[in-house]
């Protein structure tokens, strides 16, 4: 059950912080991704993925914590996905992709209406595209270092 106190914890707005630190037009979309994960952790719903392999929950939690650390830290690293591996990014992308592809079904369920009204599938799709770009960059860095 969402109350006023946990609403503010779930729907935390890091948009200004994201923009100030990373100077990205994607700040709103990235914030929406964080809110999506806040929602999923709060509701313990396996990230809205049917038959989600629960052995990956600790990995997703660790990746989420790295992302939040990158947002909140005072360092000047301009990469929001700093020290997040390609496999971790792919896992996030998989979860987000499921949200987008199942958006109609998810948004029709009463327990998801609030989230789906606030976090559009388009915004999450933008995050997927951004993560895809980052994966390509990280792959090219690996190739350069070989």
Q: pLDDT exceeding 90 applies to what percent of the chain?
A: 73
Local confidence band at 25 (pLDDT 50, 70, 90 cut-offs): confident
What is the per-residue pLDDT for 75? Answer: 83
Predicted TM-score (pTM) of the model is 0.91
Average pLDDT over residues 51-70: 94
Average pLDDT over residues 55-64: 95
What is the per-residue pLDDT for 77? Answer: 77
- DSSP assignment of the chain equals ---HHHHHHHT---HHHHHHHH--TTHHHHHHHHHHHHHHHHHT-GGG-TT--GGGHHHHHHHHHHHHHHHH--S----TTTT--HHHHHHHHHHHHHHHHTHHHHHTSGGGHHHHHHS-HHHHHHHHHHHHHHHHHHHHHHHHT-
Domain boundaries, the chain: 4-144
């Amino acid at each position: 059950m969402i109350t006023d106190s946990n609403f503010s914890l779930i729907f935390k707005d890091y948009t200004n912080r994201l923009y100030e630190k990373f100077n990205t037009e994607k700040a709103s979309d990235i914030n929406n991704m964080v809110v999506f994960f806040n929602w999923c952790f709060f509701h313990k719903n396996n990230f809205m993925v049917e038959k989600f392999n629960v052995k990956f929950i600790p990995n997703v939690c660790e990746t989420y914590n790295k992302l939040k650390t990158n947002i909140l830290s005072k360092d000047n690293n301009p990469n929001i996905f700093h020290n997040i591996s390609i496999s971790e990014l792919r896992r996030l992308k998989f979860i987000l992709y499921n949200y987008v592809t199942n958006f109609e079904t998810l948004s029709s369920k009463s327990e998801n209406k609030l989230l789906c009204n606030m976090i559009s599938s388009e915004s999450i799709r933008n995050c997927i595209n951004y993560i895809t770009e980052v994966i390509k960059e990280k792959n090219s860095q690996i190739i350069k270092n070989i």
